[in-house]
Amino acid sequence: MRLTLGHGKMKHSVASPSEQAIKLRRVRFGSSSYWLTAAVLVASVLIWQAVSMAGVFPSFALPSPVAVWQSLIDILRNGYGGQTLGSDILISCVRIIIGFVGAVVIGVPIGLAMSRNKFVFDIIDPFLQFVRPVPPLAYIPLLVVWFGIGELPKAILILVGTIPVIIIGTMSGVKSTPALRISVARTLGASNAQIFRKVVLPSALPEIFTAMRVGIGVAWTCLVAAELIAASSGLGWLVQFAGQALQVSIVIVGIVIIGLIGYGMELVIRKLENLIVPWRSHN
Which parts of the chain are beta strand (E)? 2-7, 10-15
185 vs 202: CA distance, rounded Å: 13
Note whether 74 and 195 are same-domain residues.
yes
Give residue 212's pLDDT.
93
Note whether 248 and 108 are same-domain residues.
yes
Q: For the chain, what is the domain count? A: 2
pLDDT of 29 over the 60 cut: no
How confident is the prediction for the chain on average, in pLDDT?
Answer: 82
Note whether 161 and 218 are same-domain residues.
yes
Note whether 93 and 229 are same-domain residues.
yes
Residue pLDDT, tens place only, 170-209: 999 888 888 888 888 888 887 878 888 888 888 889 899 9
Residue 99 has, within 13 A of its CA and on its CB side, a CA count of 31
Note whether 129 and 226 are same-domain residues.
yes
For residues 26-50, average pLDDT = 75
For residues 242-268, average pLDDT = 90
Note whether 171 and 36 are same-domain residues.
no
Give residue 145's pLDDT.
86
64 vs 218: CA distance, rounded Å: 29
Note whether 203 and 251 are same-domain residues.
yes
String of b and e for 140-172 (b: at least 16 CB within 10 Å)?
beebbeebeeebebbbbbbbbbbbbbbbbbbbb
Note whether 186 and 240 are same-domain residues.
yes
Which parts of 75-226 are beta strand (E)? none
Residue pLDDT, tens place only, 258-267: 999 999 999 9
Instruction: Please tell me whether residue 62 adopts helix, strand or coil conformation.
Output: coil
pLDDT band at 123 (very low <50, low <70, confident <90, very high): very high
Is 140 inside a domain boundary? yes
Note whether 204 and 77 are same-domain residues.
yes
Is 96 inside a domain boundary? yes
Note whether 250 and 129 are same-domain residues.
yes
Note whether 161 and 96 are same-domain residues.
yes
Is 283 inside a domain boundary? no
Note whether 94 and 207 are same-domain residues.
yes
Is 101 inside a domain boundary? yes
Is 281 inside a domain boundary? no
Residue 101: give its domain's CATH number: 1.10.3720.10
Residues in the chain: 283
pLDDT band at 8 (very low <50, low <70, confident <90, very high): very low
Domain holding 83, by residue range, is 65-276
Note the Cα 266 to chain centre separation in Å: 4
Is 204 inside a domain boundary? yes
Is 60 inside a domain boundary? no
Is 199 inside a domain boundary? yes
18 vs 21: CA distance, rounded Å: 5
* Domain boundary, last residue among 54, 78, 96: 54
pLDDT band at 17 (very low <50, low <70, confident <90, very high): low
